[in-house]
Amino acid sequence: MRFQRCKSLFKDDFEKIKNAKVLILGVGGVGGFCLDCLYRSGVLNITIVDCDTFEISNQNRQIGSENIGEKKVEVLKRLYPNIKTIDKKITKEWCENFNFYDFDVVIDAIDDLNAKVYIAKHSYKNLISSMGSAKKTDPTKIEKASIWKTKIDPMAKKFRALLKKEGFKEDFLTIFSTEEAKCKDLGSFVGVTGAFGLALCSLAIEKIISK
């Protein structure tokens, strides 16, 4: 059977995994691998949100990026037929009008810090957020922690500053890396970006099971 090995591992908790509703915001180098992991782990109700198209520069790290010029959500819908897709840019207005709490887990895998703030304000109870995965080469430096307890990660530091500016005092989990940046430009390695996605998936499964 397709998910027999997952059932053997998770036992009765597999029913929770199968019936969970998961939202992934951003399906690039991190979100795409998170999607693949959740899909292969038995989550049957996954919704992805992204408005971008694949570019040749994505091919070092993004699932589906052989399809240059095509919408990411359309390509991933072909690769993962049962998922639901939303082709929208994540903005303040979109966040204010979207029901995040229709989902058991909300996964933030985008880079836009302002949008991350809007997401956090509207979904923190169910949220897992990815911090910076670029410019790094060592996946063993990936950790999980409260947004208020991350260290070294520059994106997390900027994110916290914006949250404080907005008067946000709630809490949610993050995946981040303690590795220092290895370059100044837009360098990335799928061994780390993909591992971020897999870590998000693992944490999402943990969150689903704990409910």
Domain boundaries, the chain: 4-210
Sheet with strand 173-177: strands edge to edge = 84-86, 45-49, 21-25, 105-108, 127-130, 173-177, 142-146
Dump pLDDT digits (tens) for 116-164: 999 999 999 999 999 999 999 999 999 999 999 999 999 999 999 999 9
Q: How close are the terminal C-alpha atoms of the chain, in Å? A: 26
Query: CATH number of 4-210: 3.40.50.720, 3.90.1640.10, 3.30.360.10, 1.20.1630.10?
Result: 3.40.50.720
Q: Is the pLDDT of residue 1 over 90?
A: no
Predicted confidence at residue 33, as pLDDT, reads: 98
Residue 41 has pLDDT above 90, yes or no: yes
Give mean pLDDT, residues 47-56: 98
Kindly report the average pLDDT of the chain as a whole number.
Answer: 97
* Residue whose entry in the numeric block shows the structure tokens 């996954």: 46
Question: Count of H helices and E strands in the chain?
Answer: 8, 7
Q: Determine the pLDDT at residue 185.
A: 87
The Cα 110–Cα 55 span in angstroms is 16
- Could you tell me the CA-to-CA distances from 90 to 68, 112, 119, 185 in Å, in that order? 22, 9, 9, 25
pLDDT of residue 39: 98
Cβ-contact 48, 71 below 8 angstroms: no
Beta pairing partners, 85: 48
Question: For strand 142-146 and strand 173-177, is the pairing parallel, antiparallel, or unpaired?
Answer: antiparallel
Range scoring the smallest mean pLDDT among 10-19, 35-44, 180-189: 180-189
Instruction: Give which of 99, 150, 98 is closest to 129, Cα–Cα.
Output: 150
pLDDT value for 37: 98
Per-residue pLDDT of 175-201, as tens digits, reads: 999 999 999 888 999 999 999 999 999
> What pTM was estimated for this model as a whole?
0.97
On the question of pLDDT at 211 being above 90, the answer is no
